[in-house]
Amino acid sequence: MVIACFFIAVSTLLAKGVAGRFERVATTDDAMHPLQITAGRFLFGWLIWFIVVVLRRSRFQPIHWRLHITRSFFGWLTVTALFWAGSLMALADATAISFLSPLVAMVLAVLFLGERVGWLRISAAAIMLSGALILVRPGTGAFQPAALIALVSALAGGVESTLIKRLSSLEPRVQVLFINNSIGLLIALVAAYWVWREPSAVQWLLLAAVGVSMAAAQVFFLTGMRDGEASFVMPFMYSTLVFASVLDLWVFGDAPDATGALGALVIVAGAVFLALRERARERARNGV
């Protein structure tokens, strides 16, 4: 799971670079729009999973198209908003705000799955929301409009997580990934059509790197989820914040200020608290 987090941070960093932060790209005055970067991510991700399906000669089971289309749309929106926000603000800030997605998933589980919410889960939600308010700083001169884009990523990510849980119980994982990337590619290409500019050779290489790193993240994420208890491995997802902070500072010299760092830590604390609470609930249900 930690390796998956590293590749997630790398893909976001590369997206930020191809959006104009890499000097070689910026000097060409040909920075790419986030919609086009997302299209590149899905294109190369689709190629990888297409090769996997062909080599494995995978046979598809019945496909739940409505779930796939909905999940793919929110997955596309999650990635696009994260890439966009990351290109406008410190990656640590954008990543931290995206960690609000478990909170969204919890609310959806209550509304649509009938799950009960105890005071511990409410406390975790309150901690995460307070961290978001510290980081975003609404109503002050330090408010970052880009934070609202990162918040869209968190909201969409929460919906996507809920749908992934449902699909994973209905279809094989490789099938889910291939269909998701196929539908996501179609959505991304339609959206990118309106802002499309012919990429240079360097930009194509960077887009390929974004797609490959994201595919690698998916492989390690699914492996971690398969080999370990979800409630145990999920808290390690927050190591993405460490990788994003270090890489962003090293490559671009960007770092969150003291208030932003405090807000990020509060969000992570609430998210870890929520994850540990979910683990305790799962163990109680299983009589462990």
Query: Hey, where are the domains in the chain?
Result: 2-285
- Give, in order, the Cα–Cα distances in Å from 4 to each of 19, 73, 114, 244: 23, 22, 31, 12
The pLDDT of residue 114 is 66
Lowest average pLDDT, out of 16-25, 79-88, 180-189, 261-270, goes to 16-25
Q: Per-residue DSSP letters for 154-190?
A: HHHHHHHHHHHHHHHTTS-HHHHHHHHHHHHHHHHHH
The answer to whether residue 287 scores a pLDDT higher than 80 is no
The pLDDT of residue 186 is 96
Sorting pLDDT into bands at 50, 70 and 90, what band is 5? confident
DSSP H or E segment with residue 49: helix 34-56
Q: Where are the alpha helices (DSSP H) in 60-200?
A: 65-88, 91-98, 101-113, 119-136, 146-168, 173-192
The pLDDT of residue 232 is 67
CA-to-CA distance for 50 and 178, rounded, in angstroms?
Answer: 7
The answer to whether residue 133 scores a pLDDT higher than 50 is yes
The helix/strand/coil state of 47 is helix
Sorting pLDDT into bands at 50, 70 and 90, what band is 26? very low
Residue labelled with tokens 């914040």: 241
Sorting pLDDT into bands at 50, 70 and 90, what band is 234? low
The pLDDT of residue 284 is 67
